[in-house]
Amino acid sequence: ILNVEQSPQSLHVQEGDSTNFTCSFPSSNFYALHWYRWETAKSPEALFVMTLNGDEKKKGRISATLNTKEGYSYLYIKGSQPEDSATYLCAFNGDDYKLSFGAGTTVTVRA
Amino acid sequence: GAVVSQHPSWVICKSGTSVKIECRSLDFQATTMFWYRQFPKQSLMLMATSNEGSKATYEQGVEKDKFLINHASLTLSTLTVTSAHPEDSSFYICTGGGLAGQETQYFGPGTRLLVL
Protein backbone atom coordinates (compact mmCIF):
# COMPACT_ATOMS: atom_id res chain seq x y z
CA ILE A 1 0.00 0.00 0.00
CA LEU A 2 1.49 3.31 -1.08
CA ASN A 3 1.40 6.18 1.37
CA VAL A 4 -0.62 9.06 -0.02
CA GLU A 5 -1.51 11.68 2.55
CA GLN A 6 -3.74 14.71 2.31
CA SER A 7 -3.67 17.61 4.70
CA PRO A 8 -5.68 18.98 6.31
CA GLN A 9 -8.45 16.42 6.66
CA SER A 10 -11.02 19.20 6.59
CA LEU A 11 -11.18 22.94 6.43
CA HIS A 12 -13.73 25.70 6.58
CA VAL A 13 -13.35 28.81 4.48
CA GLN A 14 -15.39 31.96 4.21
CA GLU A 15 -17.03 32.67 0.89
CA GLY A 16 -14.74 34.79 -1.21
CA ASP A 17 -11.57 33.69 0.56
CA SER A 18 -8.89 31.60 -1.09
CA THR A 19 -7.53 28.38 0.29
CA ASN A 20 -5.12 25.58 -0.48
CA PHE A 21 -4.29 22.11 0.72
CA THR A 22 -1.71 19.44 0.04
CA CYS A 23 -1.26 15.93 -1.19
CA SER A 24 2.00 14.13 -0.46
CA PHE A 25 3.02 10.98 -2.25
CA PRO A 26 6.08 8.79 -2.86
CA SER A 27 8.76 10.62 -4.82
CA SER A 28 9.98 7.45 -6.51
CA ASN A 29 8.41 5.67 -9.47
CA PHE A 30 6.15 8.61 -10.22
CA TYR A 31 3.91 8.37 -13.24
CA ALA A 32 0.91 10.63 -12.63
CA LEU A 33 -1.00 12.48 -9.93
CA HIS A 34 -4.77 12.82 -10.18
CA TRP A 35 -7.10 15.28 -8.44
CA TYR A 36 -10.82 14.62 -8.11
CA ARG A 37 -13.67 16.59 -6.59
CA TRP A 38 -16.34 14.59 -4.77
CA GLU A 39 -19.58 16.27 -3.87
CA THR A 40 -21.97 14.57 -1.52
CA ALA A 41 -24.26 12.02 -3.22
CA LYS A 42 -22.49 12.46 -6.55
CA SER A 43 -19.74 10.68 -8.45
CA PRO A 44 -16.19 11.93 -7.99
CA GLU A 45 -15.35 14.28 -10.84
CA ALA A 46 -11.94 14.49 -12.43
CA LEU A 47 -10.16 17.82 -12.05
CA PHE A 48 -6.59 17.27 -13.20
CA VAL A 49 -4.12 14.64 -14.25
CA MET A 50 -0.59 15.90 -13.70
CA THR A 51 2.48 14.18 -15.02
CA LEU A 52 5.46 16.53 -15.19
CA ASN A 53 7.46 18.03 -12.35
CA GLY A 54 6.59 21.71 -12.14
CA ASP A 55 3.23 21.22 -13.85
CA GLU A 56 0.60 23.81 -13.09
CA LYS A 57 -2.96 23.23 -14.19
CA LYS A 58 -6.01 25.43 -13.90
CA LYS A 59 -9.74 24.93 -14.22
CA GLY A 60 -11.74 28.03 -13.49
CA ARG A 61 -10.90 29.16 -9.95
CA ILE A 62 -9.17 25.88 -9.09
CA SER A 63 -5.53 25.26 -9.84
CA ALA A 64 -2.91 22.71 -8.89
CA THR A 65 0.86 22.47 -8.81
CA LEU A 66 3.10 19.45 -8.81
CA ASN A 67 6.52 18.73 -7.33
CA THR A 68 7.52 15.17 -8.12
CA LYS A 69 11.05 15.47 -6.71
CA GLU A 70 9.80 16.16 -3.20
CA GLY A 71 6.50 14.32 -3.62
CA TYR A 72 3.78 16.88 -3.12
CA SER A 73 1.00 18.66 -4.94
CA TYR A 74 -1.00 21.70 -3.89
CA LEU A 75 -4.58 22.39 -4.86
CA TYR A 76 -5.71 26.02 -4.72
CA ILE A 77 -9.21 27.43 -4.72
CA LYS A 78 -9.38 31.14 -5.43
CA GLY A 79 -12.37 33.17 -4.23
CA SER A 80 -14.18 30.16 -2.73
CA GLN A 81 -17.88 29.79 -3.46
CA PRO A 82 -20.45 27.56 -1.74
CA GLU A 83 -20.46 25.27 -4.77
CA ASP A 84 -16.79 24.52 -4.08
CA SER A 85 -17.83 22.63 -0.95
CA ALA A 86 -16.75 19.06 -1.55
CA THR A 87 -14.14 16.48 -0.69
CA TYR A 88 -11.04 16.78 -2.83
CA LEU A 89 -9.17 13.53 -3.48
CA CYS A 90 -5.71 13.07 -4.84
CA ALA A 91 -4.50 9.79 -6.30
CA PHE A 92 -0.96 8.69 -7.08
CA ASN A 93 -0.08 6.50 -10.00
CA GLY A 94 3.28 4.79 -9.81
CA ASP A 95 4.90 2.41 -12.23
CA ASP A 96 1.81 0.26 -12.61
CA TYR A 97 -1.64 1.25 -13.74
CA LYS A 98 -3.20 1.42 -10.29
CA LEU A 99 -4.27 4.50 -8.37
CA SER A 100 -3.52 4.95 -4.67
CA PHE A 101 -5.85 7.50 -3.10
CA GLY A 102 -5.45 9.86 -0.21
CA ALA A 103 -8.25 10.12 2.33
CA GLY A 104 -9.31 13.50 1.00
CA THR A 105 -9.63 17.07 2.19
CA THR A 106 -13.20 18.12 2.88
CA VAL A 107 -13.78 21.78 2.12
CA THR A 108 -16.79 23.63 3.52
CA VAL A 109 -17.41 27.11 2.20
CA ARG A 110 -19.45 29.31 4.53
CA ALA A 111 -21.65 31.97 2.98
CA GLY B 1 -17.10 13.83 -19.26
CA ALA B 2 -18.02 10.19 -19.58
CA VAL B 3 -20.76 8.75 -17.40
CA VAL B 4 -20.68 5.67 -15.23
CA SER B 5 -23.79 4.45 -13.47
CA GLN B 6 -23.89 2.14 -10.50
CA HIS B 7 -26.82 0.22 -9.10
CA PRO B 8 -28.08 -0.06 -6.45
CA SER B 9 -27.02 3.06 -4.58
CA TRP B 10 -28.07 1.60 -1.24
CA VAL B 11 -28.57 -1.96 -0.11
CA ILE B 12 -29.37 -3.49 3.25
CA CYS B 13 -29.24 -7.25 3.54
CA LYS B 14 -29.16 -10.00 6.09
CA SER B 15 -25.95 -11.74 6.98
CA GLY B 16 -25.34 -14.74 4.72
CA THR B 17 -27.08 -13.37 1.64
CA SER B 18 -25.38 -12.36 -1.59
CA VAL B 19 -25.53 -8.90 -3.09
CA LYS B 20 -24.85 -7.94 -6.69
CA ILE B 21 -23.68 -4.45 -7.63
CA GLU B 22 -23.69 -3.32 -11.25
CA CYS B 23 -21.37 -0.79 -12.81
CA ARG B 24 -22.18 0.47 -16.31
CA SER B 25 -20.32 2.79 -18.64
CA LEU B 26 -23.14 4.67 -20.38
CA ASP B 27 -21.38 6.48 -23.21
CA PHE B 28 -18.05 4.75 -23.65
CA GLN B 29 -16.62 1.27 -23.79
CA ALA B 30 -14.59 0.17 -20.82
CA THR B 31 -12.33 -2.80 -21.37
CA THR B 32 -11.07 -2.30 -17.85
CA MET B 33 -12.98 -1.22 -14.78
CA PHE B 34 -11.80 -0.89 -11.21
CA TRP B 35 -13.63 -1.70 -7.99
CA TYR B 36 -12.81 0.18 -4.80
CA ARG B 37 -14.01 -0.04 -1.24
CA GLN B 38 -14.03 2.70 1.34
CA PHE B 39 -14.46 2.26 5.06
CA PRO B 40 -15.42 5.29 7.20
CA LYS B 41 -12.72 7.96 7.39
CA GLN B 42 -10.39 5.91 5.20
CA SER B 43 -9.13 6.15 1.65
CA LEU B 44 -10.61 4.46 -1.37
CA MET B 45 -8.85 1.11 -1.55
CA LEU B 46 -8.53 -0.80 -4.78
CA MET B 47 -10.12 -4.23 -4.52
CA ALA B 48 -9.79 -5.57 -8.03
CA THR B 49 -9.30 -4.82 -11.67
CA SER B 50 -12.13 -6.05 -13.86
CA ASN B 51 -11.14 -7.07 -17.39
CA GLU B 52 -13.68 -7.54 -20.15
CA GLY B 53 -13.75 -11.14 -21.28
CA SER B 54 -11.19 -12.40 -18.81
CA LYS B 55 -10.68 -13.00 -15.12
CA ALA B 56 -10.45 -10.15 -12.69
CA THR B 57 -7.21 -9.34 -10.94
CA TYR B 58 -7.58 -9.05 -7.18
CA GLU B 59 -5.48 -7.01 -4.79
CA GLN B 60 -3.67 -8.70 -1.97
CA GLY B 61 -6.00 -9.52 0.90
CA VAL B 62 -9.18 -9.44 -1.19
CA GLU B 63 -10.87 -12.84 -1.37
CA LYS B 64 -11.74 -13.62 -4.96
CA ASP B 65 -14.28 -16.25 -3.94
CA LYS B 66 -16.08 -13.78 -1.76
CA PHE B 67 -16.06 -10.84 -4.16
CA LEU B 68 -17.01 -12.25 -7.53
CA ILE B 69 -16.41 -9.97 -10.47
CA ASN B 70 -17.87 -10.48 -13.91
CA HIS B 71 -17.11 -8.22 -16.86
CA ALA B 72 -19.10 -9.85 -19.63
CA SER B 73 -19.44 -6.84 -21.92
CA LEU B 74 -17.61 -3.63 -22.72
CA THR B 75 -20.13 -1.61 -20.73
CA LEU B 76 -20.95 -3.72 -17.69
CA SER B 77 -19.02 -5.05 -14.75
CA THR B 78 -20.70 -6.65 -11.75
CA LEU B 79 -19.42 -7.22 -8.24
CA THR B 80 -21.17 -9.87 -6.19
CA VAL B 81 -20.53 -9.98 -2.48
CA THR B 82 -21.22 -13.60 -1.60
CA SER B 83 -22.40 -14.68 1.82
CA ALA B 84 -22.13 -11.13 3.10
CA HIS B 85 -21.26 -10.51 6.73
CA PRO B 86 -21.40 -7.32 8.82
CA GLU B 87 -17.68 -6.71 8.25
CA ASP B 88 -18.43 -6.41 4.52
CA SER B 89 -20.53 -3.33 5.24
CA SER B 90 -18.80 -0.58 3.33
CA PHE B 91 -19.00 1.84 0.43
CA TYR B 92 -18.22 0.23 -2.93
CA ILE B 93 -17.43 2.32 -5.99
CA CYS B 94 -16.37 1.50 -9.53
CA THR B 95 -14.45 3.41 -12.17
CA GLY B 96 -13.89 3.05 -15.89
CA GLY B 97 -11.87 4.88 -18.51
CA GLY B 98 -8.97 2.72 -19.55
CA LEU B 99 -5.91 1.79 -17.62
CA ALA B 100 -5.46 4.33 -14.81
CA GLY B 101 -1.98 5.66 -15.52
CA GLN B 102 -2.31 9.04 -17.07
CA GLU B 103 -5.89 8.53 -18.14
CA THR B 104 -8.79 10.12 -16.30
CA GLN B 105 -10.95 7.64 -14.43
CA TYR B 106 -14.72 8.11 -14.46
CA PHE B 107 -16.48 7.12 -11.29
CA GLY B 108 -19.85 5.65 -10.58
CA PRO B 109 -21.79 7.21 -7.70
CA GLY B 110 -21.07 4.27 -5.41
CA THR B 111 -23.09 1.70 -3.48
CA ARG B 112 -23.45 1.72 0.27
CA LEU B 113 -23.84 -1.80 1.64
CA LEU B 114 -25.10 -2.52 5.12
CA VAL B 115 -25.12 -6.12 6.26
CA LEU B 116 -27.22 -6.80 9.33
pLDDT for A5-40, tens place per residue? 999 999 999 999 999 999 999 988 899 999 999 999
**Distance of alpha carbon A46 from alpha carbon B75, whole angstroms:** 20
pLDDT of B102 strictly over 80? no
Touching A: B residues 76-105, CB under 8 Å: 93, 99-105
**Phi, psi values for residue A23, rounded to 5°:** -130, 125
Query: What is the arrangement of strands in the sheet containing A56-59, beginning at the earlier edge strand?
Result: A5-7, A19-24, A72-77, A62-67, A56-59
With the CA atoms of A46, A67, B39 and B71 taken in that order, what torsion angle do they form, in degrees rounded to the nearest 10? 50
Average the pLDDT over A47-71 and give the result: 96
3-state secondary structure B27-51: CCCCCEEEEEEECCCCCCEEEEEEE
Among A43, A51, A102, the residue with its CB nearest the CB of B107 is: A43
* Contact yes or no for A107/A11 (Cβ under 8 A): yes
Return the bridge partners of A86, or none: A107
Residues of chain B with pLDDT > 90: what percent?
A: 78
pLDDT of B99 strictly over 70? no
B27 near A CB under 8 A = no
Kindly report the CA angle at A90 between B29 and A34, in degrees rounded to 5?
45
